Amino acid sequence: MTVLVTHPGRQHSHQAALALQRGGQLAIYWAGAPCLEEQGRYLPAALWRRLIQYAPVPLDPRRVRWAPWVPGMRRLGDRLLPAGINREVDFAACRLFDHRVARGLSSVVDDPPLTAVLACEISARATFRAARRRGLATLLDAPSIHWAAQDRLHGTLDPPGLHRRIVAVKEEEIDLADYVLTVSELARQTYLEAGVPAAKVHAVPLGADLSLFRPGAAEPHREGFVFLFAGASIHRKGFDLLLEAFAAVAAEVPTARLRLVGPAGDAFHLLAGCSALPIDVTGPTDQKGLAAAFHAADCLVLPSRNDSYAMVVPEALAAGLPVIVSEMVGAKDLVREGENGWIVPALDAAPLAARMLACARDPQGVRGLRDACRRSAEAATWEGYAVRFLALLDRLGVLGAAESV
């Protein structure tokens, strides 16, 4: 029994494919982002470095299919078109990928038998329709919280007409899915609140690369206190709340600093009003650069209005970095109050500022949590994710007995 895994980009889909391959139950991994080193032969070196933002994946090349035109469409839209139009292009790329996979289902050899498809939201509707005609189980990869919760928490930047089409696709995908797989219990609850039956929705928390994200050399006498924000400077991640809170902290503890790592987003313009604050902007980085940023900081801050999981949290903990997260961050389940970090209310800069101020006034106490941080991340490995993922599929009757991973 095997599973087809599809994704128009990559996210954590390759980890699902790896888990299935280790269990001998991967049919095909069909993605937009490249995952094999050998795929670089077809592109100029400079373009390849921009496209493959993550390390190559040790998947069997015979079981990998690549749709490079999907990220190509999305990147061209981002670079060349106004915001509203590039979102239309992004949606079109996901929908075209979905239809391409649906047509390709007929070419997937049933040896061993194909029993299920796992497809990501917005690119699953046509695939699920085709899968159901073949009598296959349909698993929806839901990396975000339910769309209704997103709308309630922070709205959307999509044009109204596009938003209605996206919602229509998501709703039909949920209806067509036998099971919805979320990345956290927080995300699962938003589906239950939207009326999706509890037996249909299952949380499979993600993991982190503990070999890459490890504690660096201790610097017990480092001057000042460095807060780190790692991610896009967007409203959804509470970037505006972070700046407001840090302004209050800097007024009390002038030696505190805020370092920003990640791409500019829809709230980046707010930095123009913070020129007097000690804020360092380093821009996007790769995974090795992120690990180095963890080592140079004292505390990660992520006051999101909505983060279905937030990979940066287990990665920071694995690097020995305490975290301050909002209650709307899915990875908050890893946080033990006062032991490896703190959870603050969402949508409110005041409690965030109070917690940040307490940390800035006690740098040695915060730095003393590094060992507990690392220990808390040991349950959030990709190996653990593979075990949880295969066990769930087996329990749901999607697989036969999985081999040891």
pLDDT at 124 over 70: yes
**Of 257, 289, 273, the residue nearest 359 (C-alpha):** 257
Residue of 226, 245, 269 whose CA lies nearest to 347: 245
Mean pLDDT of 61-74: 86
Query: Token pair of 315, please?
Result: 């990665």
pLDDT of residue 50: 58
pLDDT at 114 over 60: yes
**What gap in Å lies between CA 300 and CA 255, rounded to an integer?**
17
Same fold, 2-207+381-395 and 225-377: yes
pLDDT recorded at residue 44? 62
- Residue 403: band (very low, low, confident or very high) from pLDDT cuts 50, 70, 90: very low
Task: Report how far residue 240's alpha carbon sits from residue 267's, in angstroms, rounded to the nearest whole number.
Answer: 7
Question: Pairing between strand 201-203 and 179-182?
Answer: parallel
Spatial contact of 365 and 343, defined as CB atoms under 8 Å apart: no
pLDDT digits over 370-401, tens only?
A: 999 999 998 899 999 999 999 999 999 987 54
In tens, the pLDDT along 77-109 reads 666 667 668 888 889 999 999 999 999 988 776
Global confidence as pTM: 0.90
State both tokens at 307: 């983060």
- The domain segmentation of the chain, as residue ranges, is 2-207+381-395, 225-377
Residue 92 CB coordination number (10 Å): 14
pLDDT at residue 264 tops 50 = yes
Task: Indicate whether 152 pLDDT > 60.
Answer: yes
Asked whether the beta carbons of 285 and 293 are under 8 A apart, the reply is yes
Q: Which overall architecture, per CATH, does domain 225-377 show?
A: 3-Layer(aba) Sandwich (3.40)
Task: Calculate what percentage of the chain has a pLDDT beyond 70.
Answer: 91
Give the per-residue pLDDT at 399: 77
Name which of 117-121, 177-181, 205-209, 322-326 the model is least confident about: 205-209
- pLDDT tens-place string over residues 306-338: 999 999 999 999 999 999 999 999 999 999 999
Provide the pLDDT for residue 383. 94
- Give the sheet arrangement for strand 323-326, strand by strand: 279-283, 256-261, 225-230, 299-302, 323-326, 341-344
DSSP H or E stretch at residue 259: strand 256-261
pLDDT, tens digit (0-9, with 9 covering 90-100), for 28-58:
999 998 888 777 666 666 555 555 555 788 9
Asked whether the predicted pLDDT for residue 185 surpasses 50, the reply is yes
The answer, yes or no, to whether residue 294 has pLDDT greater than 60, is yes
CATH match of 2-207+381-395 with 3.40.50.2000: yes
